[in-house]
Amino acid sequence: MDISGFFLFAHSDFSFDARTQWPECRSIGTIRDQSACGSCWAVSSAEAMSDEICVQSNSTIKVHHSY
């Protein structure tokens, strides 16, 4: 298999934490309780939308979408 066109990480010191990058967006650090809910797709989608709206609006719009 030719992998010459791919960049491989042998070791990386890179780390990223969205909570420290956007501390004003408190929804990023929130973990919602899904319990035995069968709608995990809805919970994760709502969380992603809340986080993205906050980040894209430079923390001027802070919403917590519900599921």
Q: How far apart are CA 8 and CA 32, in angstroms?
A: 34
Please report the pLDDT score of residue 42 as a whole number.
80
pTM of the model: 0.65
pLDDT one-digit tens code per residue, 17-42: 999 999 999 889 888 777 777 787 88
The percentage of the chain sitting over the pLDDT mark of 90, rounded to a whole number, equals 25
CA distances from 34 to 1, 7, 43 (A): 41, 37, 7
